[in-house]
Structure 1
Amino acid sequence: MRVPNIVVIGSLNMDIAVEAERSPSMGETIMGKDVHFIPGGKGANQAVAAARLGAHTMMIGTLGSDAFGAELRNSLVESGVDVLGIKTAEGVPTGIASILLAQGDNQIVVVPGANAHCLPEDVYQHEALIAQADVVLLQLEIPLRTVIAAAEVAKRHGRTVILNPGPARDLPEELLKHTDYITPNRSELSLLTGMDTSGEQWKEAAKRLLEMGPRHVITTLGSQGSGYMKSDMHITDVPAYRVPVIDTTGAGDSFNGGLAYALAAGEDLDNAVHFATKVSALAVTKFGAQAGMPSLEKVETFDWSIVQASPC
């Protein structure tokens, strides 16, 4: 089978993860159990996910001229990501994400750092490589104008665009109309549409988002799985797998990397979403966003009959 070719344009962060028994209340100080320095960033996480599955994956982004930057570059190379498109911004710190892990979930604060210096010019510099991609995968931890430029360049060359709209913000029509697949979680869907997404209300919000321009809406629903909608407005529910959860930090990123891989490999949307669901299920069984990204062999050989798929 032909090796999928994926370009990821997005953020690179050092994740500083603190484990604690619970989240503190406002103004409260509590004792943590451990601290970890882990390569992260939504863009880098998704690039690693796709590369681990076997795709030729090139990352376009910006690192700082500090020790974190050098460490993140080396980590990507070790994971099989092509780092030709990553520049170093001199005198600028690498982006960080402060993550609190407590009670099986996470809270994250991102400081962009060098990610704010990932500019449209960087996209144009690598236009020839984007033109050869099967899928271009985008997120929102870099300047919005850079994301818009990337989507426009990709569509000018007829490439498939996946937009993971996190962190959530209002998005212009010019970006949405160049998006083939948009993958919000429940809270992102609510912000994008201004609608209630609790319970089954997310389905009405997904319809509204589809009307705003993207060709397909795929909503991730955590332990409830996901659902996707095509232009015919029909919603297909995809169940999640009940697996032992160690760390949910990379769940959404692994889903997007798996989705990009499957679509780039020529799978239809139904098969691609089911494949992405398996990738994300395996990812949360290990600690660390990038460390938990599974290989294609692991996804294909895992005995899925031993875990229960729960209905949405």
Structure 2
Amino acid sequence: MTRVVVCGSLNMDVVVQSARRPLPGETVLDAEVAFLPGGKGLNQAIAAARLGPPTSIFGAVGDDAFGNTLRGFLADNNVDTLGLHVVTGQASGLALIQVAQGDNAITVASGANRYFSEIMVSAEPRPSEVWVAQFETPLEATRIIMRKARQAGARTVLNMAPFQSYPAALLKSIDVAVLNEIELTQATDITIGTSSALSTVVEACHKLRAKGARAVVATLGPRGAVVVTAESATAIPGAKADVIDTTGAGDCFIGAFAARLVVGATPVEAAQYANVAAARSVERLGAAPSMPTAKEVAARLASA
């Protein structure tokens, strides 16, 4: 069966909106708060499922009210949750997201996500599937899961976020690695900023490819994305958006990318579609709740 399989984190996002973020030691009043499902794994699974392909998630939640809410939200969005494990005595992951002036700052308490392991993944990967992972769950489990998926012939997508030191062998099992400017800088020691030349971004992507990834996608926010393979480097222009909240935009890109990859798109075609989907997602508050439907993305593509 063709499907997207996401292995990763699930959090309850506590989103606090204010006119600006407080300085150290300062209190800012008149903020608004919302409790919204999130976590990179959950966000990416929701993004993929809303765009059409069958989607499953493997991960861990706590035996608490937030865990129940997260499972229910996934089920309501047609994500297969049979691979979710409840970790007794642990709280579900939680992210404090401060939103101000259209940008965000995030602090994560991993909770049950720290206990996710490869033995929780009971499904056997298939060549027709796309398997997705991130860096919010234990990296050794990710290495084992991605290696098994790649050996089975599935396509593998790794979102190297939030960046941390990773097992050297991990990238050898990855078809497509996806990073933003900050993560690409951390992964390659080549400084990538908002004004970096395309050639510098491509150089950094090739440096990461040399470590094993078959293709690298650099997401550049309003500037779009760059897709680097052994054969070419393709720049994808940014899509226009009326920005309300950028939380989850990168996860939307990953989920949409996997959703197109699983139906036969090339990395460049998948990135072009994902770029538009991510632009649509920033026009609503929250991470998972902001993920667009296939109809919404089609409408945006038609009007471009």
Indicate the TM-score class for this superposition, using the shorter chain for normalisation. Answer: over 0.9
* 2:71 match: secondary structure: helix
**1:191-235 CA distance string (max 9 Å, x none):** 111221121232321121111110000000001111010013x32
Q: 1:23–1:270: structure 2 CA closer, same or farther, 3 Å change rule?
A: same
Aligned-partner Cα distance in 2 for 1:304–1:104: 26
Q: 1:67–1:29: structure 2 CA closer, same or farther, 3 Å change rule?
A: same
Once the two structures are superposed, the pairs formed by residues 3-152 of structure 1 within 5 Å of their partners are: 4-123=2-121, 125-126=122-123, 128=124, 130-131=125-126, 134-152=129-147
Conserved? CA contact 2:276–2:301, under 8 Å? no
Once the two structures are superposed, the pairs formed by residues 1-312 of structure 1 within 5 Å of their partners are: 4-123=2-121, 125-126=122-123, 128=124, 130-131=125-126, 134-198=129-193, 199-200=196-197, 201-232=200-231, 234-302=232-300, 304-305=302-303
* 2:137 match: secondary structure: coil
Query: Which runs of no fewer than 5 residues in structure 2 stay unpaired?
Result: none
Aligned-partner Cα distance in 2 for 1:282–1:113: 30
The 10-residue stretch of structure 1 (194-203 or 217-226) with the greater mean CA deviation from structure 2: 194-203
**1:43-97 CA distance string (max 9 Å, x none):** 0000000000111100000010000000100000001100010010011000001
Report the residue type matching 1:264 in the other structure: V
Report the residue type matching 2:54 in the other structure: H
Conserved? CA contact 1:59–1:81, under 8 Å? yes
* 1:271 match: secondary structure: helix
**Aligned-pair CA distance for 1:28:** 2.0
Conserved? CA contact 2:139–2:167, under 8 Å? no
**1:112-161 CA distance string (max 9 Å, x none):** 100011112112x22x2x33651001101100111111101101201100
**Aligned-pair CA distance for 1:173:** 2.3
**1:145-195 CA distance string (max 9 Å, x none):** 111111011012011000001110122221111000000000000111122
**Aligned-pair CA distance for 1:103:** 1.0
* 2:132 match: secondary structure: strand
**1:225-255 CA distance string (max 9 Å, x none):** 11010013x3211011111011110100110
Aligned-partner Cα distance in 2 for 1:231–1:31: 52
Percent identity between matched residues is: 38
Conserved? CA contact 2:63–2:90, under 8 Å? yes
Report the residue type matching 1:250 in the other structure: G
**Aligned-pair CA distance for 1:34:** 0.1
- Runs of 4 or more off by more than 4 Å in structure 1? none
Query: Which runs of no fewer than 5 residues in structure 1 stay unpaired?
Result: 308-312
**Aligned-pair CA distance for 1:26:** 2.0
Report the residue type matching 2:181 in the other structure: R
The 10-residue stretch of structure 1 (263-272 or 59-68) with the greater mean CA deviation from structure 2: 263-272
Across the aligned residues of Structure 1 and Structure 2, the Cα RMSD in angstroms comes to 1.4
Aligned-partner Cα distance in 2 for 1:183–1:4: 22
How many aligned positions are there? 300
Aligned-partner Cα distance in 1 for 2:128–2:34: 34
| Length-normalised TM-score, structure 2 | 0.95
Aligned-partner Cα distance in 1 for 2:5–2:267: 19
Aligned-partner Cα distance in 2 for 1:4–1:54: 11
Aligned-partner Cα distance in 1 for 2:295–2:127: 26
Which residue number in structure 2 is paired with residue 310 of structure 1? none
Aligned-partner Cα distance in 2 for 1:238–1:287: 25
